[in-house]
Every structure is written in C-alpha cells, then in structure tokens.
Structure 1
Amino acid sequence: MSAEVVAEKMRGEAVVGLTLEMTAYIEGRAAARETMAYQWMPAEVWARIRHRGRNSLGLPDAHGIPDLVPVARMRPGAVGRHNPRNAILANPVHDAHGEISALTVIDTNHPSLFDHALDHVPGMLQFEAARQIAMAAANASLGLDTNRMVMHQLEIAFEDFGEFELETIARAVAEPDPKEDGAVIAVIRITQGDKAIASGRVHLRVMPVDIWTMVQ
C-alpha cells in the first residue's frame, strides 16, 4: 500500500488536517484507490464537541454500548458476503418507492470493523453498511445476482456522528447505470432517526462469468 499527502489543512502555521491519496496493490497491479480528507483536534475540544452533540440528542456525556438483540440478519449471499458474521444488515424493508432499508448491526466485538475502542459508529462500519445496502437494493429491486457483483466505486460524506445508542438504518435506491450495461448506481443514506449521518453513492459492477465466481 502507498499513501501520498496531496493537501494540508492549516490553522495559522499549524497543520491540522491532511488529504491523502492511497493505493492498494496486489502483485504489482493497482487494486483499489482512495482519497480521504481528515483532520484532528485536541482531546478537550473533541470531548466538548462530542458532549454537546450527545446532549442535543438527550444522551449522557459518556457513550454506552447497547446489548445485541435478536434480529433477522440478511443472508450473506444477498449482500455480497460469505461469512454470516460479516453480513451486518438485518430486518430489511422494501417500500413502495423502491427504497431498501435495513438495520445496521452494531457488533463492537467484530475483529475488523471494531479493531479498536471507539465512542461512535465508525466510518468503516458505515462504508460496509453502504456497500451491503447497495447490494441488497440491486438484488431486491433489479433482480441481480449479488454473488457476481463487486463494489467498483464509493463516494460517501460523513455528516454527523453516529451514536451507539440509536438505531442505525442503511437505505438505498438502486438504478441501472445508463452508461454501463449491467452496472448499478445506488444512492445511499445512513440515518439515525430523521437525520442522515452519512450519504453518498455506490457503483456496482457485475464480474464476468468465470468458474472462480463459484468458489467460496
């Protein structure tokens, strides 16, 4: 993997944020690229922002981890996964307008989606919820085989903190990509209550027919 700083965010003479362009290579070939903008702040400023945001939702300063409750998890194959633990959507609903929505399961013991302690729903979990709800929408709305689909591109903007104590719902409307036969564009939102905490678009492509698509 490689990472290159392509922009800096300054406050006075201090660097407080970076924009990175990153590439993952497999056997010398670029397999994935990501551009990410982020910034940091003193711990006391972070705490003040988090407390103010949580209090506005009627939540205490300190976050809590709700117990996992019984849910109807979606089948791994319906959301482009093999391992049942990696299927993180549950209780799906398909409304009259073609939107698919599903509860995002917050399992803080998951070894990769929660690889360190956090006080909010992490971006990595929201990335995966966006990918999976796009897959579910392509399956339910367009009848496509998600066993042969891959996420080709993801654009997402994080608009607010996701709180552990609130239900996190992934939503998507999928349409065929008018520029590419067999591809899908899904408009996604991750919501808590009436508020979107993230939104964006997922572009899915169908892998060519190959015997290896049948191997788990």
Structure 2
Amino acid sequence: MQNSNNRTVVSIKDTAANPAPLGLLGFGLTTVLLNISNAGLIPMSAMILGMGIFYGGIAQIIAGIMEWKKNNTFAATAFTSYGMFWLAFVTIKTMPVLGLAAAPDGKALGAFLFMWGLFTFVMFIGTLRISRALQIVFGSLTILFMLLAIGDFTGNHSLINIAGYEGIFCGFSAIYTGLAQVINEVYGKEILPIGAMAKK
C-alpha cells in the first residue's frame, strides 16, 4: 500500500506455526519423567538424560528462537532459558561420571535450584497477564524448584520425594497447556480451556 509521502510500505504476514506447544511439551514430558525419578518411582537413567538433551533442551531452544522471531519476549526468554536448564542439568549429571569435574554437593545443587526458582517466580508474575493455564505451570514450577532446593540444602530426601509428585503435576499441567493449544488451533475454537487473559 502507499502512504501520504507516496512511499510504498510492504507488510509481511507471519505465517509460521505457533511454537509454544513444542516448547511446552518439551518441558512437560521431560519434567514428568525426571520427577517420577525424584519421587523414587524409577531410577535416574539415560532415558531421562536423553530426554533432557533432545526434547527438554534442544526442542525448547528451537521453540524459543521461533518465539523470538515472532517478537514474543516472554516465550522466547522462557523456552530458551528452560532449554538451557535441561542441558545444564544433564551436564551436571554427566561431567562427574566422565571425570571432567567434581560432583556438586547439596549446597551447590540447592543454590542452582534456588536461582532457577527465583527466575521462575518472576516469570510467573508475567503469566498473570497471559493465561490461567500458564499461571498453574509457572506457579507449580516455582514451588518445585524451591522444594528441591530446600531438599538439597538440608539433605532431606523425603522432601525431594514430595517435590517429585508436585513436579509430576507441574509437568502434566504444561503437557495439557501445550496440547490444548494444538487441539484448539486444529478445531478453530476453544475445545480445551486455557483461561487466556483478555487483551487491553
């Protein structure tokens, strides 16, 4: 179209798919599996670490980059950060086994998890303008990080087990939110509610 100065203005329509379901599912599925281990139901194994690298890590980073292209600062920050969290988590678990670094003690792990809990709490504040579903995801994730941090600081394994069950809930809330976005887009209407906030 043309503006008043007879200059041509070209508008580019964004036709890329919504990357949020990929990021939410990468986070959710990996979180459920890790916290089944935290709850003491299965041992830590290559299954969880592999999910952490590829679906929790790389898939979320891809989603974050796509959100950056869509000018969505919140989602770009969240998905890229939590993707890097999973890669860092796998590194923490594998480097000592490979003899590349000393294993962190409880205080070091507690500090690591506390900082992620603090980051998540601030991100939770952002969800108050987005949707109820994301409020549940980020709210329960904040609680999860803090429970795990306290468990590692104190060496209280019972608390880590409790955090595992809370983390299973958190992971499934992210899975629901991601799949709800997919189903709602496919059907062109809200089949699975996510409680989106009204735009002002």
Q: TM-score, normalised by structure 1?
A: 0.26
Q: TM-score, normalised by structure 2?
A: 0.28
Q: Between Structure 1 and Structure 2, which shows a larger proportion of helix residues?
A: 2
Q: Between Structure 1 and Structure 2, which shows a larger proportion of strand residues?
A: 1
